[in-house]
Amino acid sequence: MARNEALAADPAEQRTTGDLARAAVSGWLGTALEFMDFQLYSLAAALVFQTIFFPTDAPGMAIILAMATYGVGYISRPLGAWYFGHLGDKIGRRKVLFYTILLMGVSTTLIGALPTYHQVGALAPILLVVLRLAQGFGAGAEIAGASVMLTEYAPRRRRGIVGSLVALGTNSGTLGASAIWGVLVATLSHDDIVNWGWRIPFLASVLIMVFAVWVRFNLKESPVFEAREDVVDGVAVSKEELAQVASNSNVLAEGLSERKGRAFFEAFFLRFGQAGNSGMVQTYLISYITATLLLAPSVGTNVVITSSLVGFITVPLVGFLSDKFGRKLMYMVMSSISLILVFPMIWMIATAQVNAVFAGYIIIHQSSVLALASLENLTMAEIFGARHRYTQMALAKEIAAIIATGVGPVVAAALVVATGGSWWPIAIMIAIFTALSLGASIVMPEVAGRDLTLLNDSKPGEAIIGPFARRERIKLGLPVDDEAMRAK
């Protein structure tokens, strides 16, 4: 019987609850460390790095240089995505995730030990740039790898709720870094922060890194990677080697002859929409609240913290619902809700009434950013076939994020200035990004619960969860909702 005509055994059944718990903690820690690293740096760049590493007679130029080194970290992310993604598809997820967390953690810790410009001159900013490049190189494959590993570890019908832990890691890292800097600012003088206090968050991150490295060292390889039919002795064999035996295996033949490109662009635009909304809501909208609406800086900070805390409910809830109703349906529902709410919520924020700002921001943040983030990681992992899942997911995430987050806030800022501070450009940009995610979710096949050991990218009839999966399987004459499906 052909592979797509019956349900294969779920490789996740080969792992115990303890194995799954370690995988979940590993994914959460890695994502938290990644976002903590970048948040620590962004806050340091805004507060003290212009003085420590880029002292000039023009304060504005010093700030620009400090922020430029923040952006440098994103340049190396696609390179890391390609290198480590390819390696992860070749030798396994576990080893690569060990490398990425170690590279990220060591780079972040060493930033806290750097000499300043006053101590070694131009060598100081050069070393800072080198560490930022290394940090970005590791981070480029971290969240994709954590998502792939956790999705491949999770039971078929629990991937949504389990995979949402990766999205929760983003909240944890951002909140952790903000809290650390908040304590420093509240307890130390500005001179103390500039002289030595800024080093504390970076050096202290070594504790999280050591724990994460220990967890990953004791983590078993992904059961899906081990179950792949092109893996021999823990290493993926070449396409040429597989071609010699493809005629004897429908699965291998499918993997070798699959149509390329469509799955990548479906995943790309799912990510493009969410990343664009993230840049608009979590970055530009905070600037709009402070610089255009002239509200106190504490309003922007507090609304982000409050909404992030609400996300600890929203993210797993959306993941849970996707396990019941499918990824495709939940993507379409949440994107549609975002499109309906974006204009009234941004209008509420533009009234500059603090209560309205909080309500509008929290609602649009949950619907346009966090809900889509909850669905994104596991959906992208299920879209791609086992042969190139890590590579394609990492590249789709990083390339889409760089373009969307780079273009969105800049275009919105220019349009807001051109329209005299109007809120319309912000709402329109968020609506465009959301519409792109909605469009991708409409054209993609349902992927919830598909067999992740399949070498080919997703196609209709492979999913088993949700109304769209049912419709696809009926159309293809495949079993629907029988006892075997429910058991799996």
DSSP letters for 199-257: HHHHHHHHHHHHHHHHHHHTPPPPHHHHH-TTEETTEEPPHHHHHTTGGG-HHHHHHHH
- pLDDT tens profile 259-287: 557 899 999 999 999 999 998 998 788 87
Q: Give the pLDDT mean for 456-471.
A: 92
Q: What is the pLDDT of residue 331?
A: 97
Write the CB contacts of 485 (distance below 8 Å, at least 6 apart in sequence): 7, 464, 479
Q: Give the pLDDT mean for 78-87.
A: 94
Instruction: List the domain boundaries for the chain.
Output: 1-227, 259-488
Given a cut of 50, whether residue 459 has pLDDT beyond it is yes
Report how far apart, in Å, the C-alpha atoms of 350 and of each of 257, 416, 421, 473 are. Answer: 53, 12, 9, 47
Two tokens at 155? 């039971």
Q: Give the pLDDT mean for 378-392.
A: 93
* Structure letter (DSSP) for residue 353: -
Percent of the chain exceeding pLDDT 70 equals: 88
Cβ-defined contacts of 481-488 (< 8 Å, 24+): 484/6, 484/7, 485/7, 488/7, 488/9, 488/10, 488/156, 488/157, 488/449, 488/464
Two tokens at 142? 């971290």
Write the CB contacts of 178 (distance below 8 Å, at least 6 apart in sequence): 39, 43, 301, 304, 305
pTM score, whole prediction: 0.86
Given a cut of 50, whether residue 441 has pLDDT beyond it is yes
Given a cut of 60, whether residue 399 has pLDDT beyond it is yes
State the CB neighbour count (10 A cutoff) for residue 299: 18
Q: What is the pLDDT of residue 379?
A: 96
- pLDDT tens profile 26-73: 888 888 888 787 778 767 776 777 788 877 655 556 556 665 666 677
Tallying the residues shown for the chain, one arrives at: 488
Nearest-5° Cα angle at 268, 318 to 453: 75
pLDDT-derived band at 248 (thresholds 50, 70, 90) equals very low
Q: What is the pLDDT of residue 427?
A: 96
pLDDT-derived band at 258 (thresholds 50, 70, 90) equals low
Q: What is the pLDDT of residue 241?
A: 54
Q: The CATH number of 1-227 is which of 1.10.10.10, 1.20.1250.20, 3.40.50.720, 3.30.420.40? A: 1.20.1250.20
- Between 455 and 47, whose confidence is greater? 455
Report how far apart, in Å, the C-alpha atoms of 64 and of each of 56, 68, 468 are. Answer: 11, 6, 49
Percent of the chain exceeding pLDDT 90 equals: 45
- Environment class of 95 (CB within 10 Å of its CB; exposed 0-12, middle 13-18, buried 19+): middle
Q: Which class does domain 259-488 fall in?
A: mainly alpha
Given a cut of 50, whether residue 1 has pLDDT beyond it is no
Q: Which residues, listed in sequence order, are joined to residue 236 by a DSSP beta bridge?
A: 231
Report how far apart, in Å, the C-alpha atoms of 275 and of each of 70, 372, 437, 466 are. Answer: 18, 9, 10, 26
Q: Which residues, listed in sequence order, are joined to residue 231 by a DSSP beta bridge?
A: 236
- Between 379 and 407, whose confidence is greater? 379
- pLDDT tens profile 133-190: 998 899 899 989 999 999 999 999 899 999 888 888 888 887 888 788 878 888 988 8
Q: What is the pLDDT of residue 338?
A: 97
SS3 362: helix
